[in-house]
Amino acid sequence: MDIKALACQLLSTRGLPLSRWSIAEVTREACRSGLVATISDSTVWRWLHADAIRPWRHRCWIFPRDPQFADKAGRILDLYEKVWDGQPLRDDEFVVSADEKTSIQARARLHSTLPAQPASPMKVEHEYERRGAWAYLAALDVHRFKLFGRCEPTTGIVPFDRLVAEVMARAPYRDARRVFWIFDNGSSHRGERCVTRLRDTYPNLVPVHGPVHASWLNQIEIYFSVLQRKALTPNDFPSLDALRDRILGFERYYEGIAQPFEWKFTRRDLEALLNKLNTRPTTYAYVAA
């Protein structure tokens, strides 16, 4: 229908000084452009709702630009399926996902937080005093769901190497045939200098860098999102010590109750997604089913 096709156009192509459609704007533009003589907002809403068209919403995305995106991402997805270079991993080979969660602030509220009451949610004072911040560096054994983390004043090569040393000094990683470490391209652990530094120190460590702008492939990011929701929101900590105790306490708590993440996105799914992106038109046209 013409109304649905209109709602699927960018407003910039219509010469309107707006960023997103609303129902009222779709209705107004349909009448102004002569698509209809008159129509109600409720009718427009009903037509768009039938095909789940919501032009007032938007979602940010990053188009993959790394020429080796498929190869780099595929290696990580293979490791999640316990495969490396086409061969299954052995029992003494492990996969670790690691990263940093930067600048976690301790915000001391100016009035005490009030607990939930009947018909009233928890109340958290809007104003606060900053009591400092931690960088939380963490590593996750993705198949055994073992967590290793530390709070540091800042990120960097030295703090990150302390995390690696903490993990690699323990059994079974110390004596493992290979330990695959999955990283993004943060400054603490990117490039060939990182690979050389880590391999010289730990001969059984295999660094695996993901593509640029592909943190969603790193399972430690899932844990960070759980930590944020379950332990750090709302942010109400009287001191840095209290914040550190919460972070590390949740790490032990969650490790005790969680199972390995049920990762379902495979190399086959990646290939299908990249093929879809490569054939995606730069503009969209509404096609009625």
CA distance 208 to 254: 26
Helix (H/G/I), strand (E/B), else coil: 114: strand
Helix (H/G/I), strand (E/B), else coil: 255: helix
**Per-residue pLDDT at 180:** 98
Pick the CATH number of 69-115+122-267 from 3.90.110.10, 3.40.50.970, 3.30.420.10, 1.25.10.10: 3.30.420.10
CA atoms within 13 A on the CB side of 125: 12
pTM of the model: 0.86
pLDDT digits (tens, 9 = 90+) for 234-251: 999 999 999 999 999 999
**Per-residue pLDDT at 280:** 67
What are the b/e assignments for 72-103, b being 16+ CB within 10 Å? bbbbbbbbbeeebeeeebeeebbbbbbbbbee
**Per-residue pLDDT at 124:** 95
Burial class (CB in 10 A: 0-12, 13-18, 19+), 17: exposed
Residue extents of the structural domains in the chain = 2-50, 69-115+122-267
pLDDT digits (tens, 9 = 90+) for 8-34: 999 989 989 999 999 999 999 999 999
**Per-residue pLDDT at 220:** 98
* Secondary element (H or E) of residue 273: helix 267-278
**Per-residue pLDDT at 285:** 56
Residue 59 has pLDDT above 60, yes or no: yes
Residue 179 has pLDDT above 90, yes or no: yes
